[in-house]
Structure 1
Amino acid sequence: MASNYANSCFVSVVYFEDTPIGAGIVLKNGNKASIPWASTLREFNRLAPNMKLYWNVLAHCADNEICEFDFGRSTYNEGTFKFKKQWGAQPYLLDWYCYPRSKSNERENENSEGSLKASIKPVVEQIWRSLPLKLTVALGSKVRPHISL
């Protein structure tokens, strides 16, 4: 990736001792930058490597006259949204377009896995809210890696 993007890309890596525990890929375009991918190792999250990662990325951008940084999309008021907001990020609504479906596509989509997930999600969320806190804490770390935000 770096060879294809050359000076328009950089990778920031956070280390604990000699172990890389977090990283982010930043793409630059003129005086703008975005971070399409970042991740940390779960077992080191108690050290808050994401804070160090974003500090390094934003410092690099500021030092290189990048005046606009795109933190990427997030679900409103969820964890990633709140994390980005503490750095001064301002939310912008994305434009969404809906294209009419043909009758045959409509029937396919009604039975698709995505439609099933969308109809089950509110029910699962309601059940989760009604569970005892201790149970959600115990299950949460095991379930979360399998949930796409």
Structure 2
Amino acid sequence: MLRTIQVYEIDASWDRFVSGHPDGTIFHQAVWRRIVERAFGHRPYYLAAAEEGGIRGILPLFEVKSRLFGHSLVSVPFGVYGGILAADPEAEKALVSAAGDLAARLGVDYAELRHVHANGYNLPTKDLYVTFRRPIDPDPEANFAAIPRKQRRMIRQGEKHGLASAFENDAVEALYDVYAESVRNLGTPVFPLRWFQIVREEMGEACRILLVRREGKVEAGVMVFYDRDVVMPYYGGARKDAFQYAVNDFMYWELLRRSAEEGRGVFDFGRSKKESGSYHFKRHWGFEPEDLAYQYILGPGKEMPNGSPNNPKYRLFIETWKRLPVPV
């Protein structure tokens, strides 16, 4: 008989189920629970649909209380993917129901399920985000040829300016310096250094840091996640005065080139808001957008949250964040 339970101690069976599901990601795995708990203390509610034969579905949730964004359940915080993974419709339906019951019990404004693909239960769905993924050709030159001509020219420009890349996996502070400056300039809150240190510690070999230097100075960097054969550049940034060297194009090409040489299978360029700067950057690289289905279970009288930077509610905060020192 199928039961929905809250899982307090995550064992290997949870991660085995995630790894065996086509939509499973590192954000569904136990490691992300440890990271979020250690860094921010958000309370986890990990739900599983199970029977005597084992797990048939999972849903990782965290209770998040924010002055800016309200009281919510999120699957999962700081991850671009999340939501329900189910082996069959019965397990999926049971987890939707359990999430609704939990949301009502906690009195949250909403539960946000960051699905890659929408489920069939007519939940309110936001169409703000897309992701960009493409298979990696084993031949680095074939990957280079697949990049549109203008971006290939930018990559060569970076090479001519003497840019060089290397994995420096313990250089968390060097990465943080360029990341924090870059994100601050966009008017986005900067995560604390401790977040990056915890991510690196907990993920181990599934997390690497690629730095780009010019004449020894770090000009750009990206923290990269590895999940099965998927390569995901996740936290990246570059110094504004290095844009003249086409540093971002060079950095992502170097990561793609190295990934092909290592035999990786998929390059996941990650989430972007539709029509944003990062959206167009990835389109210019020849990647096609795939809609993400962020779905919601809403509290009584509540609406889907509007996290768009065009929301007047956030404009003052964005302009303020742009003017803050780095780090703050």
Cα separation, 2, equivalents of 1:42 and 1:3 = 29
Q: 2:229 aligns with which of 13, 31, 44?
A: 31
Cα separation, 2, equivalents of 1:51 and 1:118 = 27
Q: 2:217 aligns with which of 8, 19, 27?
A: 19
Give the C-alpha shift of residue 16 in structure 1.
1.4
Q: 2:296 maps to which residue?
A: 98
Post-superposition Cα deviations, 1:56-77, rounded to whole Å, max 9, x if no partner, equal 1111111111121111111223
After superposition, residues 126-141 of structure 1 pair within 5 angstroms as none
Read off the aligned partner of 2:230 and give its amino acid letter: K
TM-score (norm 2): 0.32
Cα separation, 1, equivalents of 2:311 and 2:239 = 32
Read off the aligned partner of 2:208 and give its amino acid letter: F
Post-superposition Cα deviations, 1:81-123, rounded to whole Å, max 9, x if no partner, equal 12112223221111121222235xx4xx8xxxx79x86537xx
| CA 119–51 in structure 1, closer or farther in 2 if over 3 Å, else same | closer
For the residue of structure 2 that corresponds to 1:77, the secondary structure is coil
TM-score (norm 1): 0.66
| CA 79–119 in structure 1, closer or farther in 2 if over 3 Å, else same | closer
| CA 26–82 in structure 1, closer or farther in 2 if over 3 Å, else same | same
Cα separation, 1, equivalents of 2:202 and 2:299 = 38
Read off the aligned partner of 1:63 and give its amino acid letter: E
Read off the aligned partner of 1:89 and give its amino acid letter: F
Read off the aligned partner of 1:7 and give its amino acid letter: E
Alpha-carbon RMSD:
2.9
Q: 1:127 maps to which residue?
A: none
Q: 1:137 maps to which residue?
A: none
Q: 2:19 maps to which residue?
A: none
Does the alignment pair 1:72 with 2:270? yes
- The structure whose RCO (Cα within 8 Å, separation 6+) is larger is 2
- Report which stretch shifted further, 16-25 or 84-93: 84-93
Which structure shows the higher helix fraction?
A: 1
Q: 1:83 aligns with which of 271, 281, 284?
A: 281
Read off the aligned partner of 1:73 and give its amino acid letter: R
Cα separation, 2, equivalents of 1:81 and 1:102 = 34
Q: 2:258 maps to which residue?
A: 60
**Which 4+ runs in 1 deviate beyond 6 A?**
none
Q: 1:120 aligns with which of 303, 312, 317?
A: 312
Identical-residue share of aligned pairs (%): 21
| CA 59–100 in structure 1, closer or farther in 2 if over 3 Å, else same | same
Read off the aligned partner of 2:312 and give its amino acid letter: I
Read off the aligned partner of 1:39 and give its amino acid letter: G
For the residue of structure 1 that corresponds to 2:272, the secondary structure is coil
Give the C-alpha shift of residue 55 in structure 1.
1.0
Cα separation, 2, equivalents of 1:118 and 1:85 = 21
Cα separation, 2, equivalents of 1:20 and 1:95 = 37
For the residue of structure 1 that corresponds to 2:296, the secondary structure is coil
Post-superposition Cα deviations, 1:26-77, rounded to whole Å, max 9, x if no partner, equal 1111211111111001122111110111011111111111121111111223
* Structure 2, gaps ≥5 residues long: 1-198, 323-328
Aligned length: 118
Read off the aligned partner of 2:266 and give its amino acid letter: E
